[in-house]
Structure 1
């Protein structure tokens, strides 16, 4: 009974330990050719329905006494192998989900894209071979790594990650600049990509240092076959002054360089916004009024992290020194969504097409951006962690979600969440939602009591005999801190009543 109560928690713990190997040894070792690695990967990327659909029937794990898969698991060299058989058996009881015909194509800036998933302007899309591989795997487009008139001198190392408890990759910092290829090399990459993949969409990201450079770069990218021009007004760690986020924080410069870019092209123009401002609408409006077609948001957030408390150096550590860099990854998603929401509810920007980015790892993340009004999505940090193969679950998970909800086209969910984000004074303040305790699931750990007493309203006490929580209704304010911290998912929002 207990295994059923905590099945989802157990599955998440099992698959989070998987190393997501390339050419996974577990798959090669399975005597029944079970694609355990792709099934686990689907679970890891919140595509449970897709994982269940991949299971064969009957499940070979039910009768297999051989342990080759676990013996081959490389996680076992670190501590314990992933219990592959338990994962497969746990999800085998789930019903398969019918995948109806769903159209993931969507128009963005007047251009039809086969799906909304693009590589964002970064190292993940920085030469012909890389982008060609991504296109072959199903990515609809690329915002090619920012091209300028100069080749920057880079540092080593330039990447580092932020960890928390057992999670090794909460956020990511980089101090990398624009493309380290010459202008001529980049133009050749774009020409070859458009010639070999004419149906894929190429966004040429550019960065000039003055008006003439912005105009000239736009001309060159247009001649090279780009479909869209993206103005990088937002890189947070350029060594030169007056470029990157220095521009994005100055609406006058945004307008000036957008106009200069427009002089050089008739293609759609995206203004890529910096989150290192309090109000993104101001530079975004300036860009649109100056001739931009749409907005790209957000770029990385200025950050310092991972101080060594012995040497007092920070990371990335370049001979004992570092600099302020760009923070990205899953941790920035709520910030990105906030900026996108603010622009979509702004009267001057509500009709502006938005290419959203910032912490997208799974189809669920992607769907959230679309539900807040994005028609295009760009992804980098997740690709850097897991590779281009994440496109499989982005596409499959999105299709299964849409079909399960009765949608036929991805465009049907664009902006659907906007009416539910309201000013704080519009929220219901005349009722209270008390927590509901599931006595079967409760394991008596006391986490809800500790958090409520030390960080809440002292509205929970613990039964001395059973260790079960008891709600003190007269003190409870319905903040739901207890349900947020419960490791057994034994606390949930209950009935809402008038105060």
Structure 2
């Protein structure tokens, strides 16, 4: 791999190549008995402290002559094995941490939750066996896959992924509808889950076609033992008119259906919002005024992706045809955060509990949603890609982060970022923050020069001898495009100078 100067860059690249196998042969082969897969997975999901804590001090990966783990690595069948020996060697450079006790429990809509991590309403929480497994692994709750009075006819295939360069799962598209189990089956699932896991939180997601259906479903879910009812006003690809996001874009319908649900239950009600509109706060306010206790956001984004230029069909490809579907995954996180901020910045909604979702893969992603005011987190696409096991690093990573910050409760970070998001006209526009170049760390690739010249303000030139950048402060506007593209992380924010001082200096 590399030296400590580039440790994080190299580590991200190398662990990103791991296949994250089930029953991993590398762990079975390790002569030191290390949980190799768990260490790599922790690094993959930004839990470096947890990875270091799992590394035994008796393991001598640097001088291991067997290379048994790498010989067992299935990645070599594709090209070359993951450099496990180097990963373990550099993991040892991270400081082990003895975390202080941290409380991850949090109340959401008046319901106590052991932690904020829930499965969102989707295929990842659609029957008893699946949810029971997730509960056993540490998930605090589930928003059970949306239940209706009918069983939809599904298509095959119904999933597709978007990739960029070496990243195979930047975004994800689905054209799956609500639960493919009958109403009777779903009620049985909920009853059994509440019986066997009384401390876990069950959110029953429902979708009706009339006000009478919404009331009827709410009553059934209440009797089945649900703790919260979530109204799915936001599915982007239901086949029937008047369902899903068509409802969520209409504040009057949102209000009418929320009132109908309130007639059928005394439980807390969540209104699940669609991002397929400009101002989510409009239907969200309508839902709250009609009796909703909280908001869930965001559902997937209407999308078309992956045009096959040989057949001119799109994915998911159903006999050469497809339809508009829901886009999710890491790529939608900035969009989700924007909508959540907008609602928390709305005076009618600022004190309303929000269950956040959209692109959450790691504890760090979850913490960002919490920092913008969410009190609950829902996850789907990451589970579909990596499995329920991601909860281990979500819980541990969050605990270690909070402990490192001297915080005792996860509630301490809720809303902490909100004061730092301000209207554009209030931002400091009378100064420039110049980039700072670390010339020892710079490798002289010229990426900053190319981007600055072709996409910026021609403020950089490349030294002919070293390849390293030389900045013309008279042309630099402090946009930080160079910082964003630097592959060696050799550029950081530098000094901030008043534009007036610069002009007169």
**Number of equivalences:** 499
Residue in 2 aligned with 1:254?
254
Within 5 Å, give how 1:410-449 maps onto structure 2: 410-449=410-449
Superposition deviation, residue 64 in structure 1: 1.6
Within 5 Å, give how 1:54-69 maps onto structure 2: 54-69=54-69
Instruction: Indicate yes or no: 2:269 matched with 1:269.
Output: yes
Distance of 2:220 and 2:160 partners within structure 1: 34
Distance of 1:443 and 1:57 partners within structure 2: 33
Root-mean-square deviation (CA, aligned residues, Å) is 0.9
Gaps of 5+ in 2: 500-505
Residue in 2 aligned with 1:385?
385
Instruction: Indicate yes or no: 2:476 matched with 1:480.
Output: no
- Is the 2:67–2:85 contact (alpha carbons within 8 Å) kept by the matching residues of 1? no
Secondary structure of the structure 2 residue equivalent to 1:415: coil
Gaps of 5+ in 1: none
Secondary structure of the structure 1 residue equivalent to 2:70: helix
Residue in 2 aligned with 1:211?
211
Distance of 2:446 and 2:302 partners within structure 1: 38
Instruction: Indicate yes or no: 2:85 matched with 1:85.
Output: yes
Residue in 1 aligned with 2:31?
31
Residue in 1 aligned with 2:405?
405
Secondary structure of the structure 1 residue equivalent to 2:259: helix
Within 5 Å, give how 1:171-182 maps onto structure 2: 171-182=171-182
Distance of 1:288 and 1:151 partners within structure 2: 29
Structure 1 range deviating more: 477-486 or 55-64: 55-64
Residue in 1 aligned with 2:100?
100
Distance of 2:32 and 2:2 partners within structure 1: 30
Instruction: Indicate yes or no: 2:455 matched with 1:455.
Output: yes
CA gap of 1:2–1:270, structure 2 versus 1, over 3 A, is closer
Superposition deviation, residue 62 in structure 1: 3.2
Secondary structure of the structure 2 residue equivalent to 1:435: strand
Residue in 1 aligned with 2:331?
331
Superposition deviation, residue 54 in structure 1: 0.7
Distance of 1:355 and 1:446 partners within structure 2: 43
Distance of 1:4 and 1:148 partners within structure 2: 55
Superposition deviation, residue 4 in structure 1: 2.3
- Is the 2:2–2:10 contact (alpha carbons within 8 Å) kept by the matching residues of 1? no
Residue in 2 aligned with 1:353?
353
Distance of 1:94 and 1:31 partners within structure 2: 22
Superposition deviation, residue 2 in structure 1: 6.3
Instruction: Indicate yes or no: 2:233 matched with 1:220.
Output: no
Distance of 1:368 and 1:12 partners within structure 2: 20
Which segments of structure 1 move beyond 6 Å, counting only runs of 4 or more? Answer: none
Distance of 1:211 and 1:433 partners within structure 2: 56
Superposition deviation, residue 63 in structure 1: 3.1
Superposition deviation, residue 116 in structure 1: 0.2
Residue in 1 aligned with 2:136?
136
- Is the 1:171–1:328 contact (alpha carbons within 8 Å) kept by the matching residues of 2? yes
Distance of 1:31 and 1:107 partners within structure 2: 45
Residue in 1 aligned with 2:16?
16
- Is the 1:59–1:92 contact (alpha carbons within 8 Å) kept by the matching residues of 2? no
Secondary structure of the structure 1 residue equivalent to 2:314: coil
Q: C-alpha offsets along residues 67-108 of structure 1, whole Å, 9 cap, x if unaligned?
A: 110010001100010000100111212211121100000000
Distance of 1:2 and 1:29 partners within structure 2: 25
- Is the 1:271–1:292 contact (alpha carbons within 8 Å) kept by the matching residues of 2? yes
- Is the 2:441–2:490 contact (alpha carbons within 8 Å) kept by the matching residues of 1? yes
Distance of 2:163 and 2:93 partners within structure 1: 34
Secondary structure of the structure 2 residue equivalent to 1:388: coil
- Is the 2:62–2:86 contact (alpha carbons within 8 Å) kept by the matching residues of 1? no
Distance of 1:285 and 1:323 partners within structure 2: 31
Q: C-alpha offsets along residues 177-209 of structure 1, whole Å, 9 cap, x if unaligned?
A: 000000000000000000000000000000000
Superposition deviation, residue 443 in structure 1: 1.1
Distance of 1:14 and 1:280 partners within structure 2: 40
Distance of 1:136 and 1:7 partners within structure 2: 35
Instruction: Indicate yes or no: 2:237 matched with 1:237.
Output: yes
Q: C-alpha offsets along residues 395-414 of structure 1, whole Å, 9 cap, x if unaligned?
A: 00000000000110000110
Residue in 1 aligned with 2:503?
none
